[in-house]
Amino acid sequence: MVDVQVRQDGGVVGELEVSLFAAALVIDRDGILAEQAVEGLRRLTTLTRAVVASPVALPGANGFRTAVVNSGPLPYLYVFAIAPSDLGVDGGVLITIRAAGPDWAPADHMLRSLRVLTRNGRVATNCDADDAPILPVIGPTRD
| Burial class of residue 48 in the structure, from the number of CB atoms within 10 Å of its CB (0-12 exposed, 13-18 middle, 19+ buried) | exposed
What pLDDT is stored for residue 97 in this prediction? 94
Amino acid in position 130: D
* Interacting residues of 70 by C-beta distance below 8 A, sequence separation 6+: 44, 45, 76, 77, 142, 143
Long-range contacts of 109-116 (CB under 8 A, 24+ apart): 110/3, 110/16, 111/58, 111/80, 111/135, 112/58, 112/59, 114/58, 114/59, 114/60, 114/61, 115/59, 115/60, 116/58, 116/59, 116/60, 116/61, 116/82, 116/83, 116/84
What pLDDT is stored for residue 141 in this prediction? 42
Q: What percent of the chain has pLDDT over 90?
A: 25
Q: What is the mean pLDDT of residues 20-25?
A: 78
Spatial separation of the C-alpha atoms in residues 84 and 124, rounded to whole Å = 6
**For residues 38 and 66, is the Cβ–Cβ distance under 8 A?**
yes
**For residues 32 and 94, is the Cβ–Cβ distance under 8 A?**
no
Q: What percent of the chain has pLDDT over 70?
A: 71
Using a cut of 0.85, tell me whether the model's pTM lies above it.
Answer: no
Q: pLDDT by residue (tens digit) across 26-79?
A: 555 568 889 999 999 999 888 778 888 998 877 677 889 999 998 889 999 999
Q: With 70 as the cut, is the pLDDT of residue 88 above it? A: no
